Structure 1
């Protein structure tokens, strides 16, 4: 049963690559290739976050926030009786991590635009930060470490559900299909996804990088 559209799968794996590049370059001397890598990876993450939020409003049923973000009662019910193999898309508990990661990555990418190391590297909009530059830089560095920890935890959880609980989460994000689900979610057109992405990417890219 198809549960993830091609747009969500491309978003996910593009985000993985961009995040790895941003995290790796963050620990290098930021001049030359590593400065460019960090900047372009950060802007790419920002574009992906904005697109994902919009896709969560108008995209495929399994990608919409209204279909998987639930309240405390649903989360507790899932913890007591839930079976992730039968969840089409994110389960109520996983939805919390999805929303948290989206918001944290969005905040991290925005703060990175204004950050500076006062030596080799400054974000594209650092000149607009004024007296806030130091604070934003410090928060950017601290949140970066938090995100690396959360990403590591996310990988471990996926491996647990894949190898121990046999939920097929990793396979689903590659193929878009899942062997068991209660109901097949409605898929939105990939052309709609492209129609959302192009103006978002073009606007942010040129507004930030010129």
Structure 2
């Protein structure tokens, strides 16, 4: 039986795509500013990462259908079903890829969270929440901050490997839809369900307010 003809439908909204590509830019920039001891810029990059992560968390609750965590965070049964090839064709993250995204976001949140309390070797540059901990504790947090980056790099390598696997083995391009927002799918597949732009503005306002409060030292 011939397969249903494919058509181009909406898959990813612009907030998801902007967050994704800014993460691609900011993670190596954070590494470079730290390696070059440009701690003022490292702090700025970290605060922008914080804003994006908070925005993405909020967008995962109120955003378009494929952006929502409820859409792609499935239980072990769904993951096993996907691995065995029994998962139905649909857009967005598959159950395995969804948990990969959750792991990346989680490790990035840990990385940024540790950086808020970290300090440099001389104690002259430090995160905006450093005043809540002792110098010795800040040194330990800084070591964890550096170690956690290696975990982040490992997850990024797995992510890139999955993209290459889909491109070379399954002949499915994952990069273009993340650039254009659209991709090919069977005519029976439901496209992304959009939400009002006011939700993106609300999420951005809340993320900006939270990041600004943290940058100010989280005053009570």
2:197 corresponds to which of 179, 190, 193: 190
Structure 1 residues 155 and 128, CA gap change in structure 2 (3 angstroms): same
State the partner residue of 1:200.
207
Count, aligned residues: 205
Using structure 1 for the length normalisation, give the TM-score: 0.89
Secondary structure, in 3 states, of the residue corresponding to 2:125?
coil
8 Å contact 1:2–1:177 — kept in the other structure? yes
8 Å contact 1:6–1:176 — kept in the other structure? yes
Matched, 1:155 2:160: yes
Secondary structure, in 3 states, of the residue corresponding to 2:145?
helix
Greater strand percent: which structure? 2
Measure the CA separation in 1 of the matches of 2:40 and 2:90. Answer: 40
2:28 corresponds to which of 20, 25, 36: 20
Measure the CA separation in 1 of the matches of 2:105 and 2:56. Answer: 8
Q: How much does 1:209 deviate? A: 4.6
Measure the CA separation in 2 of the matches of 1:37 and 1:151. Answer: 23
Measure the CA separation in 1 of the matches of 2:94 and 2:14. Answer: 20
8 Å contact 1:2–1:178 — kept in the other structure? yes
Secondary structure, in 3 states, of the residue corresponding to 2:103?
helix
Measure the CA separation in 2 of the matches of 1:45 and 1:172. Answer: 23
Measure the CA separation in 2 of the matches of 1:125 and 1:20. Answer: 23
State the partner residue of 2:102.
99
Using structure 2 for the length normalisation, give the TM-score: 0.86
Structure 1 residues 82 and 42, CA gap change in structure 2 (3 angstroms): farther
Which range moves more in the overlay, 90-99 or 181-190?
Answer: 181-190
Q: Deviations over 1:74-113 (max 9, x none)?
A: 10110011579x3311000001111111111111101101
Measure the CA separation in 2 of the matches of 1:193 and 1:78. Answer: 31
8 Å contact 1:5–1:187 — kept in the other structure? yes
State the partner residue of 2:6.
none
State the partner residue of 1:122.
126
Structure 1 residues 203 and 73, CA gap change in structure 2 (3 angstroms): closer
Measure the CA separation in 2 of the matches of 1:55 and 1:113. Answer: 23
State the partner residue of 1:113.
116
8 Å contact 1:23–1:148 — kept in the other structure? no
Measure the CA separation in 1 of the matches of 2:68 and 2:107. Answer: 19
State the partner residue of 1:51.
55
Deviating beyond 6 angstroms after TM superposition, the runs of 4 or more aligned structure 1 residues are: none
State the partner residue of 2:68.
64
